[in-house]
Amino acid sequence: MNEPISKAQLFASLPSPWPTDLQVAIRKAAGALAAKLVVLDDDPTGTQTVYDVPVLTSWGVEELATELADAAPCFYVLTNSRSLPPERARDLARHLACNLRSAAVRSGRRFVLVSRSDSTLRGHYPLETDVLAEELGPFDATVLVPYFEAGGRYTIHDTHYVADGDTLIPAAATAFAHDAAFGYRSSNLRDWIAEKTGGAIPAKAVVSISIDEIRSRGPGAIAARLERLPPGSTVIVNAACPGDLDVFMFAALQAEAAGRRFLFRTAAQFVASRLGLMEQARWRPTFDGTAPAQANGGLVVVGSYVPKSSHQLAELLRVAATGTEATLLPVELSVPRVLAPAQREAEIGRVRTLMSDTLAAGRDVVLFTSRALVTGDDGALGLEVGAKISTALVELVHSLRKRPAFLVAKGGITSSDLATRALGVRRAMVLGQIVPGVPVWRLGPESRFPGMPYIVFPGNVGDLHALADVYGRMGRSATMPQPSLSLTNP
């Protein structure tokens, strides 16, 4: 069934949430387990729910060993594998798994592995989890948790939904399901797994942790069930609020303490629950008027083509056009010209000059790709077209000679490529979220613009006004505050 349903009515039909706040118990259980949480993120948007957490963009054995040995409970590795064709994604996963295994031996630190992917079910599944299981298994179960509160992604009665206001739309009825590379037909996660595995894992073989079980029986009963799973099981977790995920998390930690090993394939919410993170106030820029970069304009780059991004861009342009001062200059990059070899250099040169001169004059720029979607005939060609567009954006940002006051990158692949290829980021710190689901990074000293506020804005997150809201919050002279909260807070 792919019919929309009222969120209020469906939620009202569910049992009341488990009454006990489990965050303190989760932090204690995770601490007693003494295993580092390693999150392999297939694009930068997995940091949507965390703060005071480092992100690596490279994965040499020494780098991984150093991070594993650190006292912090978690780190991310940004793989950007969602932008790669299957064979390259497979090779990357295998190489990273081998390096992690060597780094664990070198550091003497155990780790728990999260393969973080899209809350709308796009990505290289089961390819990535299969490779990770081959190299780092055996695992008692692979556990899928696509629930993500800030994005309005809920799993109820095994069906995964995308919220649009008070309407819950089954995932297979959304535009995300028609992705050229990662499309699907099933909203029921049991059926989705069977579809994605080509029947190798039949729907009836998938173990479901239901909301009724989570809310009525609690973590003890779920832990006992997890401990009885046959090796190699596949599990889906239903969740409709953060407390549901916390109940499962505490149960999983108890099962792990009893010797069970799990490989997690999740959306962003999972990591915050696993760390027992307390809610943090929204990140805000501070203003001191002294940084030389504050004389320059800020930059917003919109590369994402999902409908939500296009609508948010249009709203930002509308708001900017009705302002009393012309502080934001729209600069469109023509995708057809970028894809035409004879016109590419002239188009990039035109945009480069306009963008650089405007930023140097102290005005802000929103650089966006032309909105008519250009795709290939199949998933592989679609990824190739996307790579060419992203490369053009990378060239433009890399050409900047002066640091922008801030940079907002709209889209998962866009934000990853700009961070790694245009800005040379190898390690960044996640400071928090400027609006729900939109993380802010502090760029490391090795980057082209150390300390610059870098806002990773997922393509499929936020309401119509979210991009305009983020731009308005950044102002014209943002500087980077220090983190205010620690993961080790009780």
Decide: helix, strand or coil at residue 480: coil
**Up-side HSE of residue 289: CA atoms within 13 Å toward CB?**
0
Q: How far apart are CA 118 and CA 400, in angstroms?
A: 31
Domains of the chain: 5-275 (3.40.50.10840), 292-474 (3.40.980.20)
Report the pLDDT averaged over residues 36-59: 93
**Residue 223: what are its φ and ψ, rounded to 5°?**
-60, -45
What predicted TM-score, i.e. pTM, was given to this entire model? 0.87
Strand pairing category for 74-78 and 153-156:
unpaired
**Residue 49: what are its φ and ψ, rounded to 5°?**
-125, 5
Q: 12 and 171 in contact (C-beta within 8 Å)?
A: no
Q: How far apart are CA 196 and CA 215, in angstroms?
A: 29
* List of residues 6+ apart from 188 with CB closer than 8 A: 158, 159, 160, 203
Residue 239 has pLDDT above 80, yes or no: yes
Strand pairing category for 364-369 and 328-333:
parallel
Nearest in space to 427 (alpha carbons), one of 55, 158, 97: 55
Q: 193 and 142 in contact (C-beta within 8 Å)?
A: no
**Cα torsion for 411, 413, 415, 420, to the nearest 10°?**
180
Report the pLDDT averaged over residues 481-486: 34
Instruction: Supply the pLDDT for residue 324.
Output: 52
- Kindly report which listed range (43-52, 278-287, 449-458) carries the lowest average pLDDT score: 278-287
* List of residues 6+ apart from 185 with CB closer than 8 A: 172, 177, 195
Q: 281 and 61 in contact (C-beta within 8 Å)?
A: no
Residue with tokens 């900047």: 400
Average pLDDT, rounded, for the chain: 91
Instruction: Supply the pLDDT for residue 450.
Output: 95
Give 12-24 pLDDT, tens digit per residue. 999 999 999 999 9
Neighbour tally for 34: CB within 10 Å: 9
Instruction: Supply the pLDDT for residue 50.
Output: 94
Tokens of 240: 């409709």
Give 277-335 pLDDT, tens digit per residue. 988 888 988 754 444 445 689 999 998 877 889 999 999 999 888 865 568 999 999 99
Tokens of 388: 């060419």
Q: How far apart are CA 133 and CA 69, in angstroms?
A: 23
Residue 122 has pLDDT above 80, yes or no: yes
Instruction: Supply the pLDDT for residue 318.
Output: 92
